[in-house]
Amino acid sequence: MRGSQTSSPTLGNHGASWRNWAGNQQAEGIDVVVPGSVEELRRVLADAAASGRRVRPIGSGHSFTPIGRPSDLQVRLDRLDRVLRADADTGLVTVQAGIRLGVLNRALDLLGLAMTNLGDIDQQTLAGAISTGTHGTGARFGGIATQVRALEIALPDGGLLPCSETENPEVFAAARIGLGALGVITTVTLQTVPAFGLHAREGGGRVEEMIERFDDDAERTDHVEFYWFPHTDRVLTKHNSRIPLDDGLAPLSRARAWWDDELLSNTTFGAVVGAGRRVPGLVRPLARLSASALSPREFSDVSHRVFTSPRRVRFEEMEYAVPREHGMDVLRALIDRVGRSRWRIAFPVEVRAAAADDITLSTASGRDTVYLAVHTPPRCPDRTAYFAALEAIAGEVGGRPHWGKLHGLGADVLATRYPRFAEFVALRDRLDPARTLGNEHLERLLG
């Protein structure tokens, strides 16, 4: 359905530079290959393994950690981005792993289908999103990886391994969030649902009131999240309810969408963040001004247009997953810590929920989860202390860091947070004993 795959030779770029979306991860003097077919990808991996080179697959570079940073050879799946098969009756859709979420959403639209749940950004590749545990919000819904029904993986030795619940199930259990450590995902089969709409209600409120009612709201509404503005007692709340398309949709006008999502959320907010970086003393009063300027809105639209929003203001992020029963206590402790500090935090704290799942290294593995995400502008002087505070508070209740976002944990601590950690490491030892797909970051994470 997309014609970007060609039979031309693998593209090469020698001595290239790379940086991620946030600009906090970089690499110089690397080789980059962009395979045009699975067979080319397999040859790249086999040749690298034979010559002792290290390979890292990379998606769109939206991870904040060095998880995609290459030490030698980087593989991009940009040309493996087609929809291969779709069954509208079963909802099973097989796509190549390099497809971007935004492209996938539009392709599913044409088929009358949709992803069950999404995060708030659609620029990632599907392989990158599932490999790092990307998720949205919804107490009854899991992350994107829970929608995967089968994978095909190119192994470090050039072999090709299909996996699902019935075929190589031990690999399937781990590879849905595999950190790019087990193999390079080539195709993904997703369980989609009939296209649906979301009725969105957004508005302001007081943080303590939202904390008190969060569990009830999460039970009664399909998708709930809120944003606390540091240095204030204000929050922005979002309540999204699933509706049939037959009910009719009332999307925002183009003018209102541009005003809210481009001018206010990106252009104006970017100016506020920039002013705070130039004059740090402005951060706290500008935070209060931003929180007080929130205006409620209500609309409905096709699901992916409500789930996702443009993000043009660059930031660095840490996110911790904690057991749902501890989520609001962790937030209260963070609020107290910020209140006692001299930090100047320009970005709101994002709070979401997700259902438990059975994926080996999922942040929600085995437990219903609340996610708390903190952000700062790049090179913010308060970032280290601020992020360390969340890490320490979340750690007291067994918090698990998002695999694509900044954190300071290594294999010794991670092994205590994930009951099946040793299972994943053993599988990696079997599939990639020479660490062809390794880098320094994975060595820290997995030992």
What pLDDT is recorded for position 9?
46
Alpha carbons 72 and 81: distance in angstroms, whole number? 24
Question: Which residues, including other chains, have CB under 8 Å from residue 419's CB and lie 6 or more apart?
Answer: 365, 366
Token pair 């005003």 is found at 259
Question: Which residues, including other chains, have CB under 8 Å from residue 437's CB and lie 6 or more apart?
Answer: 54, 55, 56, 57, 156, 180, 181, 182, 183, 184
Q: Does a structural domain hold residue 383?
A: yes
- Residue 45 CA: distances (Å) to CA of 53, 376, 430, 446: 9, 37, 16, 21
Q: Does a structural domain hold residue 313?
A: yes
> How many CA atoms lie less than 13 Å away from 97 in the CB half-sphere?
31
Residue pair 108/99 in contact (Cβ under 8 Å)? The answer is no
Residue pair 1/81 in contact (Cβ under 8 Å)? The answer is no
pLDDT per residue rounded down to tens, the chain (447 residues) = 443 443 444 666 788 899 999 999 999 999 999 999 999 999 999 999 999 999 999 999 999 999 999 878 999 999 999 999 999 999 999 999 999 999 999 999 999 999 999 999 999 999 999 999 999 999 999 999 999 999 999 999 999 999 999 999 999 999 999 999 999 999 999 999 999 999 999 999 999 999 999 999 999 999 999 999 999 999 999 999 999 999 999 998 877 776 566 645 666 666 666 767 777 777 787 777 777 767 789 999 999 999 998 888 889 999 999 999 999 999 999 999 999 999 999 899 999 999 999 999 999 999 999 999 999 999 899 999 999 999 999 999 999 999 999 999 999 999 999 999 999 999 999 999 999 999 999 999 999
What pLDDT is recorded for position 373?
98
DSSP alpha helix (H) spans, 63-184: 101-110, 126-131, 169-175
What pLDDT is recorded for position 356?
98
DSSP 432: -
Residue pair 25/64 in contact (Cβ under 8 Å)? The answer is yes
Strand-pair partners of 198: 242, 301
Alpha carbons 164 and 264: distance in angstroms, whole number? 44
Alpha carbons 205 and 100: distance in angstroms, whole number? 35
**CA dihedral of 207, 267, 385, 387, whole degrees rounded to 10:** 70
Closest CA to 345 of 315, 312, 310, 311: 315
Q: Please tell me the total count of domains within the chain.
A: 1
State the first-to-last Cα distance of the chain, in angstroms, to the nearest integer: 41
Q: Where are the beta strands (DSSP E) in 103-233?
A: 113-114, 148-154, 160-164, 184-191, 193-194, 197-206, 223-228
Question: Which residues, including other chains, have CB under 8 Å from residue 217's CB and lie 6 or more apart?
Answer: 224, 239
Axis crossing angle, helix 327-339 with helix 207-220, rounded to the nearest 10: 160
Closest CA to 424 of 407, 440, 405, 403: 403
What pLDDT is recorded for position 286?
72
Q: Does a structural domain hold residue 447?
A: no
Alpha carbons 75 and 88: distance in angstroms, whole number? 32
On the 0-12 / 13-18 / 19+ scale of CB atoms within 10 A, 349 is: buried
On the 0-12 / 13-18 / 19+ scale of CB atoms within 10 A, 61 is: buried
438: left (phi over 0), alpha (psi -120 to 50) or beta: beta
Alpha carbons 337 and 385: distance in angstroms, whole number? 11
Alpha carbons 394 and 409: distance in angstroms, whole number? 12
Q: Does a structural domain hold residue 15?
A: no
The three-class DSSP label of residue 370 is strand
Q: What is the CATH number of the domain that holds 279?
A: 3.40.462.10
What pLDDT is recorded for position 15?
82
For 419, other C-beta atoms within 10 Å of its C-beta total 11
What pLDDT is recorded for position 3?
39
Residue pair 398/363 in contact (Cβ under 8 Å)? The answer is no
Q: Where are the beta strands (DSSP E) in 21-147?
A: 26-34, 55-58, 73-76, 83-86, 92-96, 113-114
Residue pair 110/85 in contact (Cβ under 8 Å)? The answer is no
Tell me which H or E stretch contains 307.
helix 303-307
Tokens at residue 97, please? Answer: 């792993």
Q: Does a structural domain hold residue 92?
A: no
Residue pair 17/26 in contact (Cβ under 8 Å)? The answer is yes
Q: Does a structural domain hold residue 351?
A: yes
Alpha carbons 216 and 4: distance in angstroms, whole number? 46
Q: Does a structural domain hold residue 98?
A: no
What pLDDT is recorded for position 7?
41
Backbone angles phi, psi at 155, to 5 degrees: -85, 160
Residue span of the structural domain in which 214 resides: 197-401
Q: Does a structural domain hold residue 192?
A: no
What pLDDT is recorded for position 254?
76
